[in-house]
């Protein structure tokens, strides 16, 4: 696949049209959301509680006590939201299914009213010519499963495969692309090591058990979906672009290797090469016996995947710093500093570095050789409409997206097999521990009235899609 730069043919005396940097034919343009972040309707039609319902109700865990109870009310407004997507010219939409709508207790009886919602959503999308991309797990674990050990328990992996088959049996005839997990790094390390995310556990041994059971759940589900006839199967990671602060320093390089292991290789190696890396086995065994890894598990995890989803926002800078305590979300990183250099940041205080995305894509392509899809990329900025106006001038978001799409084009020119791009997010939504305080949408949501207003970035993105490229 090659990206091309063209300019329209110029008649004598005419000004040259701006050059267009085009994406390959067939490149897929979409946007992404997740169930708990947008749906609301938290107790409707038989939905059971998830770990995020519990966590967001625990004082001090989420900004200002915000919850996903109402969120963007997408559960009731999905038709209007799909119409907005159609207006933007989106070709594809990545959404997640809330497991607690399908199996309110995590296992056992199926709640058909929950399936009915995704059935309606799927048909609405297809009716507008928008291809659905399903994520089976975007962090809203049924609370009943957490109460029995959550991802630290092997039972959850088996339950996930059962749930995946239930969802596929209902939607598989119309949904072409199935993603098992979203960012298992966050589920394991923010959920069970730092406790910044649900379920809020702070126990490194549980975090490593969670890594394994998430991967095993992926492997069991992927095999079952394949057997059931699923066309395109993938998993979405948030691989980290790890950069040694001093690339010439062996100590910084060694620190970067550990950070890369904990964030990237611990997932990618078993998924794609069929075995945990030796250094990560050694690191894990400092915290827990590895008896949770049974014979055959790594083979089970190593299912063929058709696409690897990449969520990218910001790189990590890593250096050796004797005496530095381990980062709470990175057990075993004593003596390693994750301090970032000064530079432009988004409203999340995330450093903006598009070229780190190019390097990351090239690294994934070279080391793992699987087709890639950007399943999330975007930026939080606080702009809202001025009083009395419907317009949101989110110029910095446009610049962020433009810069990262150029990085994608560069990666494609350098031979990376990148199949598509999904902007995070379609609309402002519940940003986990930040509640509604951070706005990632290209559509503005007024939470008091639930009105949606396209920001400048939405109009800009629609133009990108229309011309399949950047000016
Ligand atoms: C990712 C999550 C997504 C969203 C963005 C900002 O880690 O997958 O739900 O919160 O970050």
CA-to-CA distance for 208 and 293, rounded, in angstroms?
10
Query: β-strands 20-22, 4-6: how paired?
Result: antiparallel
Return the bridge partners of 453, or none. 444
Of 432, 440, 441, 442, which is best to mutate to test ligand 1, by the most ligand atoms within 8 angstroms of its C-beta? 432
What contacts 322, CB < 8 A, 6 or more positions away?
A: 335
The yes-or-no verdict on residue 9 having pLDDT over 60 is no
The yes-or-no verdict on residue 343 having pLDDT over 60 is yes
Q: What is the mean pLDDT of the chain?
A: 96
CA-to-CA distance for 139 and 181, rounded, in angstroms?
8
Return the bridge partners of 428, or none. none
CB atoms within 10 A of CB 424: 24
Token pair belonging to 315: 């790189």
Token pair belonging to 459: 């109009």
Which ligand 1 atom sits closest to the C-alpha of 440?
Answer: 6
Across 146-171, average pLDDT: 99
Across 2-26, average pLDDT: 62
Which candidate, 210, 306, 215, 348, places its Cα nearest to that of 269? 215
Of 379, 381, 431, which is best to mutate to test ligand 1, by the most ligand atoms within 8 angstroms of its C-beta? 431
469 C-alpha vs ligand 1 centroid, how far in Å? Answer: 25
- The tens digit of pLDDT for each residue in 429-449 reads 999 999 999 999 999 999 999
State if residue 297 touches ligand 1 by the CB under 6 angstroms criterion. no
Residue identified by tokens 């029995």 is 148
State if residue 431 touches ligand 1 by the CB under 6 angstroms criterion. yes
The yes-or-no verdict on residue 414 having pLDDT over 70 is yes
The yes-or-no verdict on residue 8 having pLDDT over 50 is no
CA-to-CA distance for 1 and 386, rounded, in angstroms?
43
What per-residue confidence (pLDDT) applies to 200?
A: 99
The yes-or-no verdict on residue 4 having pLDDT over 60 is no
CA-to-CA distance for 59 and 388, rounded, in angstroms?
36
State if residue 240 touches ligand 1 by the CB under 6 angstroms criterion. no
pLDDT > 70 fraction of the chain, expressed in percent and rounded: 96
- The tens digit of pLDDT for each residue in 346-403 reads 999 999 999 999 999 999 999 999 999 999 999 999 999 999 999 999 999 999 999 9
State if residue 440 touches ligand 1 by the CB under 6 angstroms criterion. yes
CA 300 to chain centroid: 23
- Locate the DSSP E strands across 321-442: 336-337, 372-376, 418-424
Contact by Cβ (8 Å): 169, 162: no
Across 32-40, average pLDDT: 99
What per-residue confidence (pLDDT) applies to 415?
A: 98
- The tens digit of pLDDT for each residue in 50-105 reads 999 999 999 999 999 999 999 999 999 999 999 999 999 999 999 999 999 999 99
Across 306-315, average pLDDT: 98
Q: For residue 20, what pLDDT band results from cuts at 50, 70 and 90?
A: confident
Annotated active-site residue 298? The verdict is no
Q: For residue 16, what pLDDT band results from cuts at 50, 70 and 90?
A: low
11 C-alpha vs ligand 1 centroid, how far in Å? Answer: 47
The yes-or-no verdict on residue 18 having pLDDT over 70 is no
Token pair belonging to 91: 């070709």
State whether residue 154 is helix, strand or coil.
helix
Catalytic residue of the set 183, 298, 329, 353: 183
CA-to-CA distance for 372 and 419, rounded, in angstroms?
6
State if residue 351 touches ligand 1 by the CB under 6 angstroms criterion. no
CA-to-CA distance for 269 and 240, rounded, in angstroms?
14
CA-to-CA distance for 372 and 91, rounded, in angstroms?
17
The yes-or-no verdict on residue 7 having pLDDT over 80 is no
37 C-alpha vs ligand 1 centroid, how far in Å? Answer: 9
What contacts 26, CB < 8 A, 6 or more positions away?
A: 419
State if residue 426 touches ligand 1 by the CB under 6 angstroms criterion. no
Catalytic residue of the set 146, 376, 383, 431: 376
What per-residue confidence (pLDDT) applies to 269?
A: 99
What per-residue confidence (pLDDT) applies to 19?
A: 72
- The tens digit of pLDDT for each residue in 243-262 reads 999 999 999 999 999 999 99
- The tens digit of pLDDT for each residue in 249-296 reads 999 999 999 999 999 999 999 999 999 999 999 999 999 999 999 999
Classify residue 54 by burial, with Cβ atoms within 10 Å: 0-12, 13-18, 19+: middle
The yes-or-no verdict on residue 11 having pLDDT over 70 is no
Sheet of 336-337: strands edge to edge?
242-244, 316-320, 336-337
Annotated active-site residue 183? The verdict is yes
């Amino acid at each position: 696949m090659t990206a091309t730069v063209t300019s329209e043919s110029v008649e004598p005396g005419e000004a040259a049209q701006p050059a267009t940097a085009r994406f390959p034919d067939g490149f897929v343009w979409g946007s992404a959301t997740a169930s708990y972040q947008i749906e609301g309707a938290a107790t409707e039609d038989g939905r059971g509680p998830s770990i995020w319902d519990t966590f967001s109700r625990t004082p001090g865990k989420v900004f200002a006590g915000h919850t996903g109870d109402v969120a963007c009310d997408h559960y009731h407004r999905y038709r209007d939201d799909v119409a907005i997507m159609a207006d933007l010219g989106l070709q594809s939409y990545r959404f997640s299914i809330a497991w607690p709508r399908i199996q309110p207790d995590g296992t056992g009886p199926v709640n058909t009213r929950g399936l009915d919602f995704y059935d309606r959503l799927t048909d609405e999308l297809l009716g507008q010519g928008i291809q659905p991309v399903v994520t089976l797990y975007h962090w809203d674990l049924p609370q009943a499963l957490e109460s029995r050990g959550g991802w630290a328990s092997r039972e959850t992996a088996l339950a996930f495969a059962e749930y995946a088959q239930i969802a596929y049996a209902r939607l598989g005839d119309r949904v072409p692309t199935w993603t098992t997990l979203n960012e298992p790094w966050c589920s394991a390390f923010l959920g069970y090591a730092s406790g910044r995310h649900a379920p809020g556990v702070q126990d490194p041994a549980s975090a490593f058990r969670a890594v394994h059971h998430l991967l095993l759940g992926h492997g069991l589900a992927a095999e079952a979906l394949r057997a059931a006839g699923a066309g395109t199967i993938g998993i979405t990671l948030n691989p980290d672009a790890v950069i040694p602060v001093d690339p010439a320093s062996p100590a910084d390089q060694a620190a970067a290797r550990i950070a890369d292991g904990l964030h990237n290789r611990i997932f990618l190696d078993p998924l794609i090469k069929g075995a945990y890396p030796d250094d990560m086995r050694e690191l894990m065994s400092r915290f827990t016996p590895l008896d949770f890894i049974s014979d055959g598990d790594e083979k089970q995890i190593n299912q063929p995947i058709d696409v690897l989803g990449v969520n990218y926002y910001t790189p990590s800078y890593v250096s050796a710093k004797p005496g530095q305590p381990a980062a709470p979300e990175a057990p075993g990183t004593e003596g390693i500093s994750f301090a970032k250099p000064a530079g432009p940041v988004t409203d999340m205080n995330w450093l903006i570095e598009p070229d780190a995305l190019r390097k990351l894509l090239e690294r994934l392509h070279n080391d793992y050789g699987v087709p890639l899809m950007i399943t999330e990329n975007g930026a939080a900025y606080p702009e809202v409409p001025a009083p009395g106006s419907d317009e949101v001038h989110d110029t910095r978001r446009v610049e962020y997206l433009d810069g990262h799409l150029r990085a994608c084009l560069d990666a494609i020119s350098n031979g990376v097999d990148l199949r598509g791009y999904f902007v995070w997010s379609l609309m402002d939504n519940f940003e986990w521990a930040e509640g509604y305080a951070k706005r990632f949408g290209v559509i503005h949501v007024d939470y008091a009235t639930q009105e949606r207003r396209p920001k400048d970035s939405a109009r800009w993105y629609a133009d990108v899609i229309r011309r399949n490229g950047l000016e």
